[in-house]
C-alpha cells in the first residue's frame, strides 16, 4: 500500500495549495457546463501523462461536462482528503486505495456508486475486485489497478541449481519453495555464513504481506463471527507462511536476518550482487530492477508459492471514488467509467507497472508479453482476492500498536508462535471490540 500519513495541519495546507477552489457548485452558470475536479495520485511520468491525456480527450469530446485535473500525492492523501471532507471542499472525484475507504465510508464521506455504474463496467471487472470496495452492499469506489506479490529471481542462479522453474499453471508449493531456497543457499568458504542466500524477506513493513499471503495457505486472520463482527484468529492455516519465514531466517539460514529490517528497495543491491537468489516483492518493483540492474544481469518473475488456498493472495487495489457532497454524481461516475475502460486501464497499468482489474485489459498483448514478467502478473491476476483487512474497523490501530512490533520480534526469533498468536489475536481482538460496540 502506498499511502502514508502526515499531520492534519500539514494536509490542510496542502489541500489549500493543491485543491484550491474545490467543493464549489461545480458548474458554470453562464452556459450550464459542469466542471468536475479530479484529484489524481499518479506520480510516474508515464502514468501522469496517460491520466492527463485521457482527461484532455474527455474534455475535447464532452461539451457539457468538463474535468479539471488536480495533482495529489500518496504521501499525504488520507489526511488531505479527511481535511477536505470535513471542510466541505472535497474534490468530486479522487484517487486512493481500497484500504483507505473503510473509515471514509463509515464517516459518510463517499457516494454509493452502485446506482450510477454502467453495466459494461460492472461485467468487465471481476466480482473479487468489486468486493474490495463494497461494504454493506454499497460500492464506494471503482477498483482499477492492482498489485500482487511475486518472486523476482536471479535466472543464472536458478539454472545453476537445476531446480524446476515454476509457472502460474504449475507453481511451487510452499514446501517446494523451502527446498529450493536450501538448494540456492551456498556457503562457499565454509565460514558458517552463506555467501548466497536462497531468499531475502524484506520485512521493514511486515503486516500486509504476512496477512495477504495467508490466503495461499487457506488462512485469513480476519474473520466474521456469527454476530457479523470482525474477529482475529491465528490458527495453523493463518500462521503457516509466517512460520515458514521464521524457519528460513532462524533455523534453515536460507534467508538473512538482516533482510528483516529492509524495505524492498534495500534488497536490490544484494540481489544484483548475487547475495540473494530470490526476492518476494510487489509487482511494481520490476521497474526498479529493470532500471537498476547491471548490464547483462538476467532476471525473471515467478509466481509466489501455492498452498491449500492455491495462488490466492490478498490485495487492496487503487480506486477511484466520488465524494458524497458532489452535486454531479452521475457525471462523475461517467468520467470514472471512461477512465477505466479496458484500453485506458492498459495505459494506466503500464504507466505504473501494475495490473489492471479489467478482464479485457488483462488480455492486451502488452500485458501478456514475457518481457519484464508481465505475463506472470496477468496469469496470477485471477488468484487475487480482497485483502482480509478491508472493511475492518480498528485495523490501522491493530497494525501499528500490535501487529508490526509482534511480527518483527517473531521473525527475529525473540519468541515463538504461541506468543505471536496471543499478541495478534488476544490483544488484537480487544482493539477490534472497541470499534464494534
Nearest C-alpha neighbor of 274 from the set 203, 202, 204, 200 = 200
62, burial (CB in 10 Å: exposed 0-12, middle 13-18, buried 19+): middle
The structure's pTM equals: 0.90
Length of the chain: 437
- CA 17, 318, 399, 302: dihedral to nearest 10 degrees? -130
C-alpha separations of 340 from 164, 176, 345 in Å: 38, 39, 5
- Number of CB atoms found within 10 A of residue 130's CB: 20
C-alpha separations of 163 from 88, 99, 181 in Å: 59, 37, 10
Question: Residue 31: its pLDDT value, please?
Answer: 72
Helices within 140-275 (DSSP H only)? 155-161, 174-183, 207-212, 236-250, 264-272
Residue 60's Cβ-side half-sphere holds a number of Cα atoms within 13 Å equal to 6
Residues 210 and 300 sit within 8 Å (Cβ to Cβ): no
Angle at 206 between CA 203 and CA 209, to 5 degrees: 110
Residues with Cβ < 8 Å from 410, sequence gap 6 or more?
242, 246, 416, 417, 419, 420
C-alpha separations of 181 from 62, 185, 186, 192 in Å: 56, 6, 10, 17
Residue 394 to residue 58: CA distance in whole angstroms: 39
For the chain, which ranges sit under pLDDT 70? 1-30
- CA 390, 395, 396, 401: dihedral to nearest 10 degrees? -150
Residues with Cβ < 8 Å from 10, sequence gap 6 or more?
76, 79
Angle at 40 between CA 27 and CA 280, to 5 degrees: 160
Question: Residue 437: its pLDDT value, please?
Answer: 85
Residue 419 to residue 409: CA distance in whole angstroms: 10
Q: What are phi and psi of 354, to 5 degrees?
A: -115, -175
pLDDT digits (tens, 9 = 90+) for 129-183: 999 999 989 999 999 999 999 999 999 999 999 999 999 999 999 999 999 999 9
Amino acid at each position: 500500500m502506498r499511502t502514508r500519513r502526515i499531520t492534519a495541519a500539514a494536509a490542510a495546507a496542502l489541500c489549500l495549495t493543491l485543491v484550491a477552489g474545490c467543493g464549489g457548485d461545480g458548474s458554470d452558470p453562464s452556459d450550464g457546463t459542469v466542471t468536475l475536479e479530479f484529484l489524481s495520485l499518479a506520480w510516474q511520468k508515464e502514468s501522469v501523462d496517460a491520466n492527463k491525456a485521457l482527461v484532455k480527450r474527455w474534455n475535447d469530446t464532452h461539451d457539457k461536462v468538463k474535468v479539471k485535473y488536480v495533482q495529489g500525492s500518496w504521501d499525504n492523501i488520507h489526511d488531505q482528503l479527511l481535511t477536505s471532507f470535513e471542510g466541505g471542499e472535497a474534490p468530486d472525484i479522487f484517487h486512493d486505495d481500497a484500504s483507505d475507504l473503510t473509515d471514509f465510508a463509515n464517516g459518510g464521506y463517499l457516494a454509493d456508486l452502485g446506482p450510477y455504474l454502467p453495466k459494461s463496467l460492472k461485467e468487465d471487472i471481476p466480482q473479487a475486485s468489486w468486493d474490495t470496495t463494497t461494504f454493506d452492499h454499497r460500492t464506494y469506489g471503482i477498483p482499477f489497478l492492482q498489485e500482487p506479490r511475486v518472486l523476482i529471481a536471479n535466472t543464472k542462479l536458478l539454472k545453476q541449481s537445476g531446480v524446476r522453474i515454476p509457472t502460474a499453471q504449475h507453481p511451487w508449493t510452499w514446501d517446494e519453495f523451502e527446498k529450493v531456497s536450501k538448494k540456492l543457499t551456498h556457503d562457499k568458504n565454509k565460514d558458517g555464513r552463506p555467501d548466497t542466500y536462497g531468499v531475502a524477506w524484506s520485512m521493514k513493513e511486515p503486516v500486509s504481506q504476512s496477512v495477504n499471503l495467508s490466503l495461499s495457505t487457506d488462512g485469513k486472520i480476519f474473520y466474521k463471527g456469527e454476530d457479523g463482527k470482525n474477529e482475529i484468529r491465528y490458527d495453523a492455516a493463518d500462521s503457516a507462511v509466517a512460520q515458514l519465514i521464521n524457519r528460513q531466517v532462524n533455523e534453515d539460514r536460507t534467508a538473512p536476518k538482516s533482510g528483516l529490517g529492509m524495505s524492498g528497495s534495500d534488497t536490490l543491491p544484494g540481489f544484483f550482487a548475487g547475495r540473494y537468489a530470490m526476492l518476494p516483492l510487489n509487482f511494481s518493483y520490476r521497474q526498479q530492477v529493470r532500471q537498476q540492474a547491471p548490464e547483462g544481469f538476467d532476471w525473471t518473475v515467478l509466481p509466489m508459492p501455492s498452498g491449500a488456498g492455491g495462488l490466492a493472495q490478498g490485495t487492496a487495489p487503487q480506486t477511484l471514488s466520488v465524494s458524497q457532497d458532489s452535486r454531479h454524481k452521475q457525471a462523475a461516475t461517467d468520467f470514472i467509467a471512461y477512465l477505466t475502460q479496458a484500453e485506458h486501464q492498459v495505459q494506466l497499468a503500464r504507466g505504473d507497472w501494475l495490473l489492471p482489474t479489467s478482464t479485457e485489459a488483462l488480455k492486451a498483448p502488452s500485458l501478456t508479453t514475457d518481457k519484464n514478467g508481465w505475463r506472470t502478473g496477468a496469469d496470477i491476476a485471477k488468484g487475487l482476492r480482497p485483502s482480509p483487512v478491508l472493511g475492518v474497523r480498528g485495523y490501522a490501530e491493530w497494525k501499528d500498536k500490535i501487529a508490526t512490533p509482534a511480527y518483527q520480534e517473531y521473525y527475529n526469533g525473540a519468541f515463538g508462535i504461541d506468543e505471536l498468536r496471543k499478541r495478534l489475536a488476544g490483544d488484537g481482538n480487544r482493539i477490534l471490540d472497541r470499534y464494534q460496540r
